[in-house]
Amino acid sequence: MSLREEKEIHIHNPKMLLFSICFVLMFSVMNGTMFNIAIPDIAESFNLLPSEVSWVMTGYIMIYSVGALVYGKLADTVSFKKLITFGLTVFTIGSLIGFIAPNYYFVLAARVIQAIGGSMMPAIAFIAPIRFFPNERGKILGIISSVMAFASGIGPILGGVIAGFLTWQYLFLTSALMIVTLPFLLKNLPDEETVSAKLDYLGAALVAVTISTTIIGITLAMTEVLWITIVAFVLAVVRMFTAKHPFIPPHLFKNRNYIVAIISSFLAVACLFGLMFTVPIMLRDVYDLTTMQIGLVMFPGAMSAALIGRKGGRLVDQIGARKVYMMSLGLLTTGFVIISSTVGLTPLIVSAMLVFPMMCFPLVQASGADILANMLPKHETGVGMGVFNLLNFVSGALSGAIVGVALDSFSPQDPFNWLAISGDSAVFSNVFLTFVGLVLTSFILFIFIYRERAHPAT
């Protein structure tokens, strides 16, 4: 047990602390959804293929995923105030670089710097409820989920308006405004003692190499790079079992329920991120919509997620996270079937149908996080959440890279879904039908292998 867990932390104003965390979280989430909308504009500005421009999202998520676990581990020994000050400062620097970027390489560099700073947020958002609100964890996770859903609803339309009336560069400038939350967080976070941090830098580097080479190999179709992935993965596993303080503790994977939960979540979140990446490209290629019009088409679906977020959190407390999670996977499967069948119809119909898969985002998120928090002992929750977040973000990066390659390589005129329309929209219908299969796999895996404990871990 860490020093942090041996004494109770006193918070002067819990409501203001929660408000401050939610405020910075909202900016962090909007940073992702705004750039999803601008992907077609960025591709047009630099004459990029879908697989190349996907690095605006996948590159960010790649760094973000590893950073989320690093910050999660550091949160056990370094005060939240120091982590937040460093994270928000670095994120703002990256945003300003992106605003003045003269070419695509500077844009990618800016996104990497943003990710190094912004990956602090998962540690704050998911560990703070466990550390500072242990008796209201379910309620707080529901609030956080609804804030994330609200931000995802505001992000597309805000990104469309900013990039439509100005240019996509101003999205970076908008993201820089997140620095205004720093004084509020520093004022309301409790003072914590910083103890000596023991971080397995070699293990972290091996995990980072495994993730990055996997995405590079898929995105650039460089199979030789995947050999580096295999070697790095083997070395990471060896390091995990031999290091005194491993980057990822091996004992986590002795828990069958934990393994099932992270694999099931990996598949579901990959499809959700894939949806967010695919839809803007589809609306540009099939319907020739402007950036603002893309934001308007996606807005109803994103706002449905915002509206259902808080109710989903309450539902987790009322009927249990497992039931909500299975229900959300069933709804997500149905949503992908619907959108796969309606691609190619009018933008108004597509906009209405996007509501079904997009509203499942907060349900999957809130119930999945609560399942994980319940199954692990308290002293392992931080690192457990870190690995959970790591794999979820990696799933998003992989889905964007794989979808980008699929859109580059295939252009069928006849969709696999016999309900869908033939033509340029066929490839997108097939992508969404693939998501149906992945979510069904996630559902079957969870319902048949996961076993709910009679009592939560302590």
pLDDT number for residue 235:
94
pLDDT number for residue 455:
44
Instruction: Of 158-162, 323-327, 363-367, 451-455, give the lowest mean pLDDT range.
Output: 451-455
Cα end-to-end distance, the chain, whole Å: 12
pLDDT number for residue 458:
44
pLDDT number for residue 134:
63
Share of the chain above pLDDT 90, in %: 12
pLDDT number for residue 197:
58
Q: Is the pLDDT of residue 4 over 50?
A: no
Q: Select the highest-mean-pLDDT range: 50-59, 130-139, 410-419, 432-441.
A: 432-441
- The CA distance from 347 to 352, in Å, is 9
Mind listing the pLDDT tens digit for each residue in 333-376? 999 999 999 888 888 998 999 888 888 877 887 788 778 777 77
pLDDT number for residue 456:
45
Q: Is the pLDDT of residue 380 over 90?
A: no
Burial of 100 (0-12, 13-18, 19+ CB in 10 A): exposed
- The CA distance from 233 to 441, in Å, is 24
pLDDT number for residue 440:
93
User: Which residues neighbour 311 within 8 Å (Cβ) at sequence distance 6 or greater?
Assistant: none
Under a CB-based contact definition with an 8 Å cutoff, are residues 378 and 458 in contact?
yes
Torsion sign (Cα): 308, 313, 314, 316: positive
Confidence of residue 5 (pLDDT cuts 50, 70, 90): very low
pLDDT number for residue 454:
44
pLDDT number for residue 10:
61
Mind listing the pLDDT tens digit for each residue in 115-154? 899 888 877 777 777 677 766 666 677 677 667 767 766 7
Structure tokens at 453: 């404990």
Higher-confidence position of 194 and 238: 238
CATH class of 12-189+247-449: mainly alpha
Q: Is the pLDDT of residue 111 over 50?
A: yes
- The CA distance from 337 to 332, in Å, is 9
Q: DSSP class of residue 451? A: -
Packing angle between helix 80-99 and helix 104-118, nearest 10 degrees? 170
Q: Is the pLDDT of residue 193 over 80?
A: no
- The CA distance from 394 to 64, in Å, is 9
CB atoms within 10 A of CB 61: 28
User: Which residues neighbour 97 within 8 Å (Cβ) at sequence distance 6 or greater?
Assistant: 106, 109, 110, 113, 172
pTM of the model: 0.75
Mind listing the pLDDT tens digit for each residue in 266-315? 898 888 888 888 888 888 888 888 777 887 888 888 778 777 766 776 77
Under a CB-based contact definition with an 8 Å cutoff, are residues 156 and 295 in contact?
yes
For the chain, the domains span 12-189+247-449, 200-246
